Amino acid sequence: MTQVDFYSPVADKLGFALRLCQKAHTRQWRVLFWFDDVVALQHCSHQLWTRQPTSFVAHSRVDELAAADSPLLLAYAGLSPDGDLPHYDVLVNFSQDTPLPFARFARLVEMVGEDEADQLRCRTRFRYYREHGYPLQHHVLGSDA
C-alpha cells in the first residue's frame, strides 16, 4: 500500500521536491512529478532547465523516448491516458487534486504550501487518504523548506 507523506509548510515546492529527488536518487528510486495540466508541466520543465547548473536534474515527460531511463519524470493525466507509467517509485504531487495513479506508487509526497487555499485542499486529500486506509505521515518543516 502506498505510503503518503505530507510536508508542511513548503514555501518553495520545486526546490523542496528537487531535494527529495536527490535523496531518492541515493536510494536508487525514480521520481515522477504530477501536475494539473500541460501548462504547469511546461512551466516546471522550464524552471528545471534554467536553475543553477549545479542543481540540474535530468528529466523528461512520460511520453518521451527518454522516459524509461530518466531519473525524474513529468506527467499529468493527459499524457498517460491508460495509466501505464515507466516506474512506480515516488510520486510528488504538484496538482491541486489527488493524483489519479497514486495508488500504484510505493510513496506519494504531498507538499502543503503556505497559503490557506492550498492548506484546505491538502486537508481534503489528507482526509481522503486516511479514510481509505493509506499509511500517513506528516512532517513539519523548519523555516528553510
To which residue does cell 512520460 refer?
Answer: 62
- Tell whether 134 is covered by a domain: yes
Q: How confident is the model at residue 112 (pLDDT cuts 50, 70, 90)?
A: very high
Can you give the residue range of the structural domain that contains 121? Answer: 3-140
* CA nearest neighbour of 32 among 120, 134, 100, 112: 100
Decide if 40 is inside a domain.
Answer: yes
Beta carbons within 10 angstroms of residue 21's beta carbon:
19
Query: Which of the four pLDDT bands, split at 50, 70 and 90, describes residue 52?
Result: low
Convert the pLDDT of each residue in 66-102 to its tens digit: 898 899 999 998 887 666 788 899 999 999 999 988 9
106 occurs within a structural domain: yes
Question: What's the domain count of the chain?
Answer: 1
| Chain-centroid distance, C-alpha 49 | 17
Residue 15 placed within a domain = yes
- Note whether residue 145 is domain-resident: no
CATH classification at residue 55: 3.40.50.10110
Distant-in-sequence, close-in-space partners of 89: CB < 8 Å, separation ≥ 6: 24, 29, 30, 31, 32, 105, 106, 107
pTM for the model stands at 0.92
Residue 144 has pLDDT above 60, yes or no: no
Question: Do 107 and 89 contact (CB within 8 A), yes or no?
Answer: yes
